[in-house]
Structure 1
Amino acid sequence: MNPSRVASTALLGLLTLHHLAQAATADEIEVRLFYAQSGTFSEPISEGAELWNVIAGEQGLREPSTSTFVRVRVSESGAGSRNAGRVVLTVTDQHTKKRSILTKHLGAFGPNGVQYVGFWLPNTGCASLRIEAAIAGTASAVARNIPFRCGE
């Protein structure tokens, strides 16, 4: 194959991927505690919520919780973003600064131009977390702080 044709094809592919990634935006993070005793979820955790000793079910929780479910809303902002790209969720322990990076591929957008991507975070409840979601290859992101704390 002609080297200039290969380079042109590769450049076209990169430009198409860049366009597709730019067309979708992660614009909302919702966080819920998972209650293992009943198999249910909490109401969405609001900004500024106090999450003290959730592993013991304190702060008026129905049950203890040691896992968290994160739902990221992704909106398409232009034609061509259907089935393109992936969501990158970065979870940072605020005390140790240890980071975990989780990714999920985007599927088909609904008729309203929105889809939701879910992430399961095990072993949560005592370390405050910073959660950031973005579409791979883009600079825009949405973030939430989850102020888990434990103690006597």
Structure 2
Amino acid sequence: MLWIREAKPEDHSQILSLIERANLSTRGAVEEPTLFFVVEGMVEDKPVVVGTAGMVLCGDYGLFRSFVLEKQARSEKVILELIQILLRAASDAKLDSVYLITSQPSDWLQALCFYPIEEEEVPFEVACSIHFSEIANRGNIFSCSLMDRFIEQEDD
């Protein structure tokens, strides 16, 4: 059984370790205001962090970062739940839109109202973040307007 919760300060070292083991950059994870969530599972009757995802707060925008799941936690359901939790957190923070960069196939992102954009379309606040400058050239950039997402959900 797995569950997702907002990360606590004592989770930070496990989060950084997960990110490093996935060969992703940890730059900005400490220096920038970042909201992390963790995926936990039971190992030998103890809760253990088996995944994480974060959102760098960039003024009126958010930048998703560090989607990392251990093999036993990797599933479409968990990934979708993490994205929905991050979108809810962005909405609660009254952000205008969120961004993510991925090198993975991304057809399913459009179902969540994420659309591909060019680097020149990224707001200055996001483009100046440590995390964005670290990974911008490593994948495709997607944007999700929280207002557009809200309108589309109302239509369903």
**TM-score by structure 2 length?**
0.24
* Greater strand share, structure number: 1
**TM-score by structure 1 length?**
0.24
* Greater helix share, structure number: 2
Larger radius of gyration: 1
Higher relative contact order (CA closer than 8 Å, sequence separation 6+): 1
